[in-house]
Amino acid sequence: MHYICVGLHIVSYTLNTTSLFVKEPFDSQYHCGALLGSGGFGSVFSGQRLCDGLQVRLQTHSFTSAFIPSSLELVCLSVCLSVGGHASVVRMLDWFEVEGRGFLLVLERPPHGQDLFDFITERGALPERLALRFFRQIVEGLRFLHAHGVVHRDIKDENIVVDTRTLDVKIIDFGSGAPLKETPYSEFEGTRVYSPPEWIVSQSYEAVPLTVWSLGVLLFDMVCGDIPFERDQDIVGAAPVFTRRVSKECQSLIRWCLSYRPEERPTLEEILSHPWMEGGEAEEEEHSSLPNQSL
């Protein structure tokens, strides 16, 4: 049995086949469906739980030469599960060790789910009211993660799943996640075009300023239909050029999140109290009282 401390939580997990209980084999509990995508850490498949037909997301992770990187997602999601989870964070339903190969995670999958990248690609720039609805849920989910000692480190449109029926969102893919700490990080496995200037310049960053910078890029992406920076020199310039008509309040929040100096960026709590966020609360309440429908 191995242990890792994440915040105030001690998470245990087995890295061999010896266990105090016998888990039913994967094949007797789940059906593996089509490949949904693949990346550096593993692959993602559609799946179904056999006992009740629940649609799930199956995510493989390969062992690497380092000590625990392939299991960090398992650890992060176990922490979330241990404290009851959050509506805006994907929920882990089960996990299996594939002997000598890595881990297979069983995650919830919204029946009408679509990642935010495809959602924006199909529809173009989002109305600010809808962007605000998504953004608030994402920030609340990140507050939950930080409060329980987890930093995601790869917030981007591809790692947000939208339920197109309810317009609820979930943060997914914790493959770049890590225990939250107050001291700087010197490694980064996220997406470079979402990384902050301090990483480009000095290969160092802190958890909250990194997260907030990524949120600024994400919000720009939602309201303009594309990310603000593609090249390192543009990231370091930290001067987004708005390609669409965006309200002054929304621009203000984006520019604040994309402040060059990490210490000048807002906290997650300050984001939630920004006038643009507060100005949309009445509209969101009105929307939530309407019957759910797909866009």
Q: Which residues are catalytic?
A: 154
Angle between helix 128-147 and helix 207-224 axes, rounded to 10 deg: 160
- CA distance linking residue 280 with residue 128, whole number of Å: 9
- CA distance linking residue 67 with residue 104, whole number of Å: 18
| Coil, helix or strand at residue 102 | strand
- CA distance linking residue 180 with residue 177, whole number of Å: 9
**CA distances (Å), 262 to each of 182, 195, 249, 265, 268, in order?**
13, 12, 21, 6, 13
- 210 among annotated binding-site residues: no
Q: Is the separation of the CB atoms in 115 and 150 below 8 Å?
A: no
- 258 among annotated binding-site residues: no
- 202 among annotated binding-site residues: no
- 100 among annotated binding-site residues: no
- 42 among annotated binding-site residues: yes
Residue 177's φ and ψ, nearest 5 degrees, are -65, 165
Amino acid at position 97, single letter? E
- 115 among annotated binding-site residues: yes
- 190 among annotated binding-site residues: no
- 212 among annotated binding-site residues: no
- 38 among annotated binding-site residues: yes
Task: Indicate the annotated binding residues for ATP.
Answer: 36-44, 108, 115
Task: Indicate the annotated binding residues.
Answer: 36-44, 108, 115
